[in-house]
Amino acid sequence: MVNVVIDGKHIQVQERTTILDAAKAAGIRIPTLCFLAGVNEIGACRVCVVEVEGYERLFTACNNPVEEGMVIRTNSKKAREARRANVRMILSEHDNHCPTCVRSGNCELQRIANELNIHDTPFEKHYVNRRTSPDFPLIRDFSLCIKCMRCVQVCDKIQHANVWDVVNTGAKTTVDVARVYRLEDADCALCGQCITHCPVGALHERDDTQKVLDAIDDPEKIVLVQIAPAIRTAWGEEFGMKPGEATVTRLAAALRLVGFDYVFDTNFSADLTIMEEGSEFVERLKHRDHEKFPMFTSCCPGWIRFVKSHWPQFVGQLSSAKSPQQMFGAVAKSWYAQTLGVDPSRIFSVSIMPCLAKKAECALPGMDGAGAGQDVDVALTTREVSRLIRSLQIQPQDLEDEELDMPLGVGSGAGAIFGATGGVMEAALRSAFFLVTGKNPEPDAFKSVRGMDGWKEATFDIAGTALKVAVVNGLGNADKLLAALDRGDVRYDFVEVMACPGGCVGGGGQPIHDRVEMAPQRAPTLYDIDRGMELRFSHENPSILACYKQFLGAPLSEKAHHLLHTTYHG
């Protein structure tokens, strides 16, 4: 143990404790800006400087450990003035157009400037007035970057994608794409984790809300929207609503006020994905001798981008099933258009996703199986939808719940849990068990794949066949698993990968709470929904059964192949 004095308080802490943590233990708050525990502890912003008796220089509290007998002053004149000067310096390199910034009201720099009572920027302004392409789903605004390095570290350490790096020197130092010239050419998975970990508005998604309003204003268009599983765990956060208040049915009411003609559920097509992917897996198992294992899930487009760029040798083992987003679009512009008796070209299909990679996925070649343009016209993030609702002065907290539309508004509990890590695996196993044995398992028979661990394994016995499965979340964990598979250290039959830590509930398009990983708080909402439903198996969803009966025939039929499956070349 080490004895220190902080602002006159005598305390004892473990050796190697940082000054920041020691102060916290003493109930003393030191402001930080660039700091991200375990990920970015480099003292880059110098907002956490403190004075240590006997030293001329100031110490950054986030990355300097305490030493025996240290006397620390967090708010001495010297520390206070240096901290304020440092923040003013950062402000001089930041385009302070706060009213029009996408992070206005949710910006750490804004918060800290206010907290330190700074209301002027006396230093000469110099920032780079440049943005990356407005057409790519991820946009970097260099005029807002404060060089905190959080994006660099999250992308490297958590996601193993290594997209960003520090470039130039001196006053020209900034963060930019590493190795290639354009962000579009980098191996970016579009997971969006650099956005949710950026303290300011330097990184954000392309805003597609105007495209949706244009379609709503077009009397020829029938505008329908699908709501991804993870949205119901988070959309209300930006309106100060609790999980129980921010129901999907209340969101439906808000979306009808926005002007959508039909509000549907991605849980429906998550069930459809299970029917196709589960059947594909059972087929592959029949040819175990010459099929390659494991089969990988394919619903997360961030993961698809990552495996294509980092581990192309595994691409052939991806399930050919399209993601629920894309299956929904294909069914909406075919079966549903037919049901409505309208030409599919009149349908404008929007998705609400916790994700940026979905914007790229819906624009991919081949995602137009219904023959009426792209099957999904626009993918909006949870944040964009909140902004859209707010811009129309809609107060969702005051609205009554409204049911989703039929038949594409019906999803099972198995579809709902897709949004949490392990959910796709669990849903798939529930139906695979049925496909193999003709009987339903206990709905919770496969619950050991739940939870926030980055790499989970389980073995289940299905009709005498031992299936070894793995579930990973976060691309860094996926990278480690693929490396282990490549070395032959592990062997699995089926692997679920979600690019974002915690799965879609922790998606890069979800509301931002600085330094709080929200996935563990959001995932229980999905398991509560599942537990509360009578319909817990994808293969029992009446809308799915109707869709096969009236339109698709059977899982893996020719029509199903044409509309619901894809390849991953190019």
Measured in degrees and rounded to the nearest 5, phi and psi for residue 12 equal -120, 130
Q: How far is CA 407 from CA 72, 234, 323, in A?
A: 65, 25, 19
Nearer to ligand SF4, 161 or 212 (CB): 161
- Other Cβ atoms within 10 Å of 308 Cβ, number: 17
Residues shown for the chain:
570
Least separation in angstroms between residue 39's CB and ligand HC1 is 22
The answer to whether 388 contacts ligand SF4 (rule: CB under 6 A) is: no
189 binds, among ligand HC1, ligand SF4, none (CB under 5 to 8 A by kind): ligand SF4
Q: Closest Cα partner for 502 from 482, 481, 483, 517?
A: 517
Nearer to ligand SF4, 303 or 434 (CB): 303
Least separation in angstroms between residue 196's CB and ligand SF4 is 9
CA 135/CA 113 separation, integer angstroms = 32
Least separation in angstroms between residue 351's CB and ligand HC1 is 7
The answer to whether 379 contacts ligand SF4 (rule: CB under 6 A) is: no
The answer to whether 371 and 245 have CB atoms below 8 angstroms apart is no
Sign of CA dihedral 212, 213, 215, 220: positive
Least separation in angstroms between residue 251's CB and ligand HC1 is 13
- Residues found near ligand HC1 in the complex (CB under 6 A): 228-230, 266, 270, 299-300, 323-325, 353-355, 358, 418-419, 503-504, 507
Whole-number CA gyration radius for the chain: 25
The answer to whether 262 and 224 have CB atoms below 8 angstroms apart is yes
Which residues inside 175-204 make contact with ligand SF4, applying CB under 6 A?
Answer: 188-194
Least separation in angstroms between residue 27's CB and ligand HC1 is 39
* Window contacting ligand SF4 (CB under 6 A); options: 51-59, 67-75, 157-165, 240-248: 157-165
The footprint of ligand SF4 on this chain (CB under 6 A) covers a number of residues equal to 13
Tokens of 459: 């073995």
Closest-CB residue for ligand HC1?
Answer: 504
360 binds, among ligand HC1, ligand SF4, none (CB under 5 to 8 A by kind): none
Q: Which residues pair with 217 in a beta bridge?
A: none
The answer to whether 138 contacts ligand SF4 (rule: CB under 6 A) is: yes
Burial 79-111 (b: 16+ CB within 10 A, else e): beebbeebbbbbbebbbbebeebbbeebbbbbe
Peptide bond into 511 cis (omega under 30): no
The answer to whether 154 contacts ligand SF4 (rule: CB under 6 A) is: yes
155 binds, among ligand SF4, ligand HC1, none (CB under 5 to 8 A by kind): ligand SF4
194 binds, among ligand HC1, ligand SF4, none (CB under 5 to 8 A by kind): ligand SF4
Nearer to ligand SF4, 42 or 216 (CB): 42
152 binds, among ligand HC1, ligand SF4, none (CB under 5 to 8 A by kind): none
Element (H, E) at 257: helix 248-258
159 binds, among ligand HC1, ligand SF4, none (CB under 5 to 8 A by kind): ligand SF4
230 binds, among ligand SF4, ligand HC1, none (CB under 5 to 8 A by kind): ligand HC1
Residue 557, Ramachandran bin (φ over 0: left; ψ between -120 and 50: alpha; else beta): beta
| Pairing status of strand 59-60 against strand 49-52 | antiparallel
The answer to whether 23 contacts ligand SF4 (rule: CB under 6 A) is: no
Least separation in angstroms between residue 46's CB and ligand HC1 is 37
Which stretches of the chain bind ligand SF4, using CB under 6 A?
138, 154-155, 159, 161, 163, 188-194
